[in-house]
Chain A
């Protein structure tokens, strides 16, 4: 029995490493994008593009977005902006009247009579209007606050010259000015999750998600996926990405095509946004349940590597908890193995942490320099300390001593907290969120977040999303409030 449990614990420890290993596997192949990419298939192709900006009370950011879009480098008259106003109650109509007069014939205001149903419904109102006319050859789905660099659209449309491509996304960078602690963590996160991971997914041959902030579809593709965006999930961008690929078209990211967005700078706003994303991912997991690990359904989306990548993100907390259970279990079953497994677990994690952090500085040096501290403390200082313990070879307890209830000490508690840190840090990150919500001063929140880490915070949010989904909590579209802080940074 003990042998079986020991093997089970070792298996759990391995499973606990899966998200880290999956992320590392993506990072390892990023460089190969220099050799294998879609650029040889690109042509000087500039189709007529309809930009769809869903807006609900976005008057503060709309003007800057429209001005940025109207100053892009693209053939005159080949792009139009459709602001789909979700029955805003602020001064959006006045802003739009001004912009339509300023850019007559290029900017349009589509207003819904009844709003509040979420982004997908709003987008569908715009898509329907755009597809009714035959002017648009491609449709750019975006957020109202997103700012386009002058050459971003050209960089995206050149891929559409290849008829195999159904959609292209861009690298969304965090551009809040002034930036805060949370928004700088997000800026660094986007290097890993977009500039690195999505390049790797280009190589694998399928994207998990075309960013909702800049999602360019061919007209043909939008028609092929039903001429509308799915409204049944909270992850309409991911759903459209999957539908496109399942309809036989490829999607890709051009990471040199850059857009800038304002991301949350408070834990409450971040928590709300990411719970929505997390629940959306779980809904996608359920909606495409016949796809996972079945290459017959789709050669890439249904492949084993893609399935592992997907589940290692959607179910990350489960892997983290299993890792902790495995290490603590080994501590009771066979302590010497616990230490071996601990050193292996955190030793491998520390190498991957160093590799990914250093490589992020190489992938996007400008952003990484701006948020170097957040990059270094991404996993949390306590996790970095545990990595140091693992690689230093320091033994936290006698490796051959079996803990018993009779010989219980506070030291044992400390040791077990360290062994269970992947799960404990998730709980601690939730604690930081609660402390922030309770009105703790910003310096305390920032200090605690640096200690516990942004990575564990994301894991805690993913756990919250799982709980919300299991409880079948209300599917509310909690919109992230934007204040117009985003800038195109150089």
Chain B
């Protein structure tokens, strides 16, 4: 019973971490694209 509960919480924690990582990845992509646009506008 306890093992099942531990497994449940581990799986939940793993999936919550995956979702949180997506936020950081999205911020990373937005920053990268922002930099590209700044470079583009600087040379336009």
Contact = CB atoms under 8 A, between A and B. Distances in A.
Contacts of A363: 22, 25
Contacts of B12: 39, 42, 158
Contacts of A362: 22, 25-26, 28-29
A31 B36 CA distance: 21
A37 B19 contact: yes
A393 interface: yes
Contact of B23 (A34, A44, A151, A254): A34
Interface string A455-474: 00000000000000000000
B38 interface: no
Interface in A135-154: 151, 154
Contacts of A154: 8, 11
Interface string B1-39: 000110010011001101111111111111011001100
- Chain A interface secondary structure, helix, strand, loop or mixed? helix
Contact of B26 (A30, A44, A155, A256): A30
Interface string A343-364: 0000000010011001100110
Most buried by A among B11, B19, B21, B28: B19
B11, B24, B36, most chain A CB atoms within 10 A: B11
Nearest to A257: B15
A479 interface: no
A197 to B, nearest CB: 14
**Which of B22, B24, B25, B32 has the most A CB atoms < 10 Å from its CB?**
B22
A158 B14 CA distance: 14
B44 interface: yes
A413 interface: no
B44 A393 contact: yes
Nearest to B27: A31
Interface string A31-46: 1111101010010100
B18 A256 contact: yes
Given A37-B16, A39-B16, A44-B4, A355 B22 contact: no
Contacts of A256: 15, 18-19
B22 A30 contact: yes
B8 A44 contact: yes
B9 to A, nearest CB: 8
Contacts of B11: 151, 154-155
Interface in A151-194: 151, 154-155, 158
Nearest to B15: A256
Q: Which of B5, B11, B25, B29 has the most CB of A within 10 A?
A: B29
A391 interface: yes
A34 B21 contact: yes
Contacts of B19: 33-34, 37, 39, 256
Nearest to B21: A34
A273 to B, nearest CB: 29
Nearest to B30: A355
Contacts of B29: 355, 358-359, 362
A31 B23 contact: yes
A104 B18 CA distance: 38
Contact of A358 (B32, B40, B44): B32
Nearest to B37: A351
Interface in A1-44: 30-35, 37, 39, 42, 44
A198 to B, nearest CB: 13
A42 B23 CA distance: 21
Contact of B25 (A31, A32, A42, A354): A31
Contacts of A37: 16, 19
A158 B33 CA distance: 37
Nearest to B16: A39
B22 to A, nearest CB: 5
Given A42-B12, A151-B11, A158-B12, A359 B18 contact: no
Contacts of A393: 44
Contact of A31 (B16, B22, B40): B22
A393 B20 CA distance: 39
Nearest to A363: B22
A35 B23 CA distance: 8
A362 B18 CA distance: 11
A363 B28 CA distance: 12
26 contacts: A30-B22, A30-B26, A31-B25, A31-B26, A31-B27, A33-B19, A33-B22, A34-B20, A34-B24, A35-B20, A37-B19, A39-B15, A44-B5, A44-B8, A151-B11, A154-B11, A256-B19, A351-B37, A354-B33, A354-B36, A358-B32, A358-B33, A359-B26, A362-B22, A362-B29, A363-B22
Q: Which 4 A-B pairs have the closest CB atoms?
A: A31-B26, A34-B23, A362-B25, A31-B23
